[in-house]
Amino acid sequence: MGHRENPRRLLQSVLLIWICVFSSSSLCAQQKHAADELVNKGVVLQDKGEVDSALSEYNQALSIDKDNLLALAEMAYSLVAIEKYDEAINYAKKAIKTHPRDPVLQSVYVSYGNALDGLGKTDKAIDIYNDALKLYPEYYQLYFNRGICQNKLHKTEDAILSFQRSAELNPNHPGTQNALGLLLYSTTRIPSLFAFCRYLILSPNGKRAGENLNIIETIMIAHVEKSDDKNVTIEVTPEMLNPNKGKQKNNFSSAELMLSLNSALDSDSSNIRKSAVEKFIRKFSDLCGYLKEIDKDNYGFYWDYYVPYFTEMNDRNLLEPFAYIVFASSKNEEVTAWLTSHKSEVTVFYKWSNEFKWRIN
């Protein structure tokens, strides 16, 4: 005769197992919550520049919850900030191993790549970004940081493509616009101008604002040399004279010629007494009008990405607030006074700009 389990004892055993599982789950949840709170404290300290104190909070979090993803991610980020690259890589690897495919790993891969780049292993950093992009193809920071590394290895065309994709995915990232502006500056003047203008819209008083404004002013008068009060020389390149030869991608040569001819008029009696901002508005408005006329005959990323934004800005009569925002870092008294007394116009401009629908492939 077989043994028959006592139903009451069986029920008690099941209840005991359920209570243990529930207690364990409850304890894990409490530990994760406590660890997350410590991580949040650490992030606040990190933002204040108190990196050592932040690391202490993250360490406490990991002592409570050893695989806490937020703690691992922030550890990697903070360690990169203080150039402890090997340690940062260890935490990044652990995060990737213990939490595969978690969305938080997007930023972990960025820290991983930055750490490798910091160690001089820039080619391996690019490999990490490429691996991450297979998992997170819509994360702009991976493209941006890959572009930084590609440029460092003099892979300029690859870097430009990475920055273009970053710009598409996040049009409001100042660093991407700055990187594009710098890389395009020596090769294609109009797109470089647009990239620097976008940077100054996004960061009018940022640390690169003054330098980028100087570049913009240089671009606006490129190929034009004033020999004396009455004579101006314009340098005309072969590309300007044959703008449609071969129908080249991202060709702005005729627009460059038009801008140079327009800049030569800065010394005209009708313009000579105008301020730098007023001259900028005149020339930029004419440029936008010209680009709109020839838009249908041209193609390429910069035609599709920048031209619709700036031509619509011109059509909506928003160039004036745009120009004063661009010149904000000049610290010119007239510019500062205009921005102070025309806050409503600036608000209208940013409302339009923030709602603009950028092209994303």
Find the radius of gyration of the CA atoms of the chain: 28
In this prediction, residue 360 has a pLDDT band, given cuts at 50, 70 and 90, of: confident
- Checking if the pLDDT of 245 tops 70, the result is no
Residues 33-153: name the CATH superfamily.
Tetratricopeptide repeat domain (1.25.40.10)
- Checking if the pLDDT of 170 tops 90, the result is yes
Q: Which two tokens stand for residue 158?
A: 């690859």
In this prediction, residue 33 has a pLDDT band, given cuts at 50, 70 and 90, of: confident
Which amino acid is it at 187?
A: T
Average pLDDT over residues 51-78: 92
Distance CA(18)–CA(183), nearest Å, equals 62
- Checking if the pLDDT of 234 tops 50, the result is yes
Q: What is the DSSP letter of 327?
A: T
> What is the residue-wise DSSP string for 51-108?
HHHHHHHHHHHHHHSTT-HHHHHHHHHHHHHTT-HHHHHHHHHHHHHHSTT-TTHHHH
- Checking if the pLDDT of 2 tops 60, the result is no
Query: What helix, strand, coil percent values describe the chain, rounded to 5?
Result: 75, 0, 25
Average pLDDT over residues 129-157: 98
- Checking if the pLDDT of 331 tops 70, the result is yes
pLDDT of residue 46: 84
Q: Which residue has the tokens 């029920």?
A: 11
Run of H or E residues at 118: helix 105-118
pLDDT of residue 224: 56
Query: 311: Cβ–Cβ under 8 A, 6 or more apart, which residues?
Result: 288, 289, 291, 292, 295
> Pseudo-torsion of CA 216, 218, 224, 229, nearest 10°?
110
Count the helices and strands in the chain (H runs, E runs).
18, 2
Average pLDDT over residues 163-172: 98
Compute the mean pLDDT over every residue in the chain, rounded to the nearest whole number: 87
| C-alpha distances in Å from residue 12, one per residue of 7, 9, 23, 140 | 9, 5, 16, 55
Of 41-55, 273-287, 321-335, the one with minimum mean pLDDT is: 41-55
pLDDT of residue 238: 58
- Checking if the pLDDT of 304 tops 70, the result is yes
Q: Where along the chain do its domains lie?
A: 33-153, 226-361
In this prediction, residue 103 has a pLDDT band, given cuts at 50, 70 and 90, of: very high
In this prediction, residue 232 has a pLDDT band, given cuts at 50, 70 and 90, of: low
pLDDT of residue 263: 73
- Checking if the pLDDT of 17 tops 90, the result is no
pLDDT of residue 91: 97
> What is the residue-wise DSSP string for 153-187?
TT-HHHHHHHHHHHHHH-TT-HHHHHHHHHHHTTT
- Checking if the pLDDT of 209 tops 70, the result is yes
- Checking if the pLDDT of 5 tops 60, the result is no
pLDDT of residue 230: 59
Contact at 8 Å (CB) between 108 and 72? yes
Of 8-12, 245-249, 320-324, the one with minimum mean pLDDT is: 8-12
pTM: 0.86
- Checking if the pLDDT of 200 tops 80, the result is yes
pLDDT of residue 265: 74
Contact at 8 Å (CB) between 71 and 61? yes
In this prediction, residue 157 has a pLDDT band, given cuts at 50, 70 and 90, of: very high
Q: What is the DSSP letter of 26?
A: H
Of 64-73, 170-179, 314-323, the one with minimum mean pLDDT is: 64-73
In this prediction, residue 70 has a pLDDT band, given cuts at 50, 70 and 90, of: very high
> What is the residue-wise DSSP string for 191-259?
HHHHHHHHHHHH-TTSTTHHHHHHHHHHHHTTTEEE-SSS-EEE---HHHHSTTTT--TT--HHHHHHH
Q: What are the backbone dihedrals phi and psi of residue 87, each rounded to the nearest 5 degrees, phi first? A: -65, -40
Average pLDDT over residues 172-193: 96
